[in-house]
């Protein structure tokens, strides 16, 4: 399969940069998969799973929203946050989700604060969902069949 250049960047760092065969992303309009020579596209990303496929392996990440720019030979994700599944502490993510739900109840009258807390809660829920999905599958290097492969 033909590869293309891919990069995930957050305000803090370049998270991932390499040649890949495909990337599946969560957009406002639903999940899309980008392959080499994809038509040019700019879209808003929502919190959720970003899945990179490269050299027969799948590499799951969680992103906290952002933007994507697709060019025929390059894909750039500018994410608010991005983490490998292994970086997520499920216990801490669950605690953050619970705190967010409580705060959301307390600030219902303040529209700006409510929106900020709702966005953070959406990110925490995405982190939990993806972490739980891959919890029993080991670490990066999950093959396309879902079998863990060290390497």
29-50 pLDDT tens trace: 999 999 999 999 999 999 999 9
Q: What is the CATH number of the domain that holds 73?
A: 2.60.15.10
99-151 pLDDT tens trace: 777 766 666 656 676 676 677 767 777 777 777 777 766 554 544 444 333 33
50-81 pLDDT tens trace: 999 999 999 999 998 999 999 988 999 999 99
Alpha-carbon gap, residue 149 to 26, rounded angstroms: 25
In a domain, 125, yes or no: no
How many domains does the chain contain in total? 1
What is the average pLDDT score of the chain?
Answer: 81
Residue 19 lies in domain: 4-85
């Amino acid at each position: 399969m033909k590869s293309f250049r891919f990069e995930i960047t957050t305000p803090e760092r370049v998270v991932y940069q390499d040649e890949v065969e495909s990337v599946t992303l969560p957009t406002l309009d639903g999940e899309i998969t980008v392959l080499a020579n994809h038509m040019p596209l700019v879209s808003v990303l929502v919190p959720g799973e970003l899945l990179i496929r490269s050299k027969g392996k799948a590499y799951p990440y969680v992103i906290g929203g952002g933007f994507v720019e697709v060019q025929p030979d390059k894909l750039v994700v500018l994410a608010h946050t991005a983490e490998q599944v292994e970086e997520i502490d499920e216990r801490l993510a669950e605690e953050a989700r619970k705190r967010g739900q409580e705060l959301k109840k307390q600030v219902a009258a303040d529209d700006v604060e409510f929106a900020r807390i709702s966005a953070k809660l959406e990110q925490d829920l995405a982190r939990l969902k993806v972490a739980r999905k891959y919890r029993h599958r080991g670490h990066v290097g999950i093959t396309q069949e879902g079998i863990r492969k060290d390497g």
